[in-house]
Amino acid sequence: MKVAVINCGSSSIKYEVFGLPDCLMLAAGLVENIGGSESRLRQRKRNADGTFDELVYSKRLADYRDGFDFMADVNREDRIIKDDSELFGIGHRVVHGGELFREPTVIDDEVVDAIERLVPLAPLHNPSNLLGIKAARIRFVGIPQVAIFDTAFHQTLPPHAFHYATPYEWYDAHRVRRYGFHGTSHRYVSREAARYLGKAPESVNLITLHLGNGASAAAVQRGSSIDTSMGLTPLEGLVMGTRSGDIDPAIHFFMMRQTGMSSNDLEKSLNSQSGLKGICGLNDMRKIIDQAGLGNDRAELAIDIFCYRIKKYIGAYFAVLGSVDAIVFTGGIGENAGMIRERVCRGLEHLGIAIDNARNEAVPGSVAEIQKDGTPVKVLVVRTDEEQEIAQQTVHAIERGKPAQRRPVAELPVRSQ
């Protein structure tokens, strides 16, 4: 039997297929330019010896339904999923679950309606996720499908951590609060870190750092998220590739008065023209590091700001957790940029954190520790695998045989402003 993991964008379907029971990834693909003049499907297929073949197919696809048909045809032709009867289930990544969804949830009509009501909280992502869910339910009739929410892992935040000090009516009427994102990754790496340490997740305290073009930190206490850097939206928190992260909220009003920017223009600027890109014109950390090495002062400044903000969150989460077993780096930057890991941890010896430079420069396997011997706090690099986490959660949700816990939709009004 197989499990398919689906992540739908505005004109794309990203997918992976896993074999059961070991959840081995068999194929990964991307259907892109749906609705365009010519769509493409790029797929990597695992061979028996562990190598991969990559193939590209082209076809005009009008909509997501055509995209799923195309994906199924290619997988049948490549003998990855011979027919729909081989599918145990389908897991869908959904960005925002609000307060309704705390766990992976088997999809039915009520769940679809609930996700639709949450669109005001994630207008850039949930609509695409929904279109994919609706098309997949039509194409794969009778196959259990599960929604996995980026926000679910952070639903354990206590009220003092998720509430903002804004008028309480904003929360009552519009559900303005901290939700957090990258939850699937934070959940996966926190469990992998605990496994590596030889402990149950419920017995360790971790600070997890998902660092990529999007970046977030989480304080994980005994297996549960108790604080995280992203907020109502993914804009809050750490400096990111194109997002500003934390700024003085009054900057919004100042810039609108000074420049005449509209709220839409300002939102676009803070989400897509800020962060590393806003500082030095680049949002690829590899290129920024190269430019800094060539003496580019703005690139060096971007690195300094990026690392400084992470360091501040580490200090804050130390205070929140009381004791920390390990700092966990993950994500494209966290896993691959040794210089960033070293810069983040530099000067934190008083907290029991110190990097071994040789270990930091050569990180083997899926989990590695890079701290100096005898250092109280472990520093781990853990390769995240959100798709495998979604596949595993999909299997567990289906095996439970019922939708996971969620509060009744009627209790949680979500209104657009």
pLDDT of residue 289: 97
Q: What is the number of other CB atoms lying within 10 angstroms of the CB of residue 376?
A: 12
Q: Which residues of the chain have pLDDT under 50?
A: 403-417
Q: What letter represents residue 43's amino acid? A: Q
pTM of structure = 0.91
- CA–CA separation, 265 and 270 (whole Å): 9
Give Cα separations from 69 to 10, 40, 139, 140, 146 (angstroms). Answer: 18, 13, 7, 10, 19
pLDDT of residue 223: 96
pLDDT of residue 413: 42
The answer to whether 239 and 215 are in contact (CB under 8 A) is yes
113 is catalytic: no
Residue carrying structure tokens 């909280």? 121
pLDDT of residue 246: 98
- Taking only the tens place, the pLDDT of each residue in 299-313 is 999 999 999 999 999
pLDDT of residue 402: 52
Give Cα separations from 394 to 76, 176, 400 (angstroms). Answer: 22, 29, 10
Q: Whose CA is closest to 29, among 44, 50, 48, 7?
A: 44
Q: Which two tokens stand for residue 349?
A: 């010896």
* Domains of the chain with bracketed CATH: 2-149+389-411 (3.30.420.40), 198-384 (3.30.420.40)
pLDDT of residue 156: 97
- Contacts of 198-203 with C-beta under 8 Å, sequence gap 24+, read 199/325
pLDDT of residue 415: 37
Residue of 22, 113, 150, 227 marked active site: 150
Residues recorded for the chain: 417
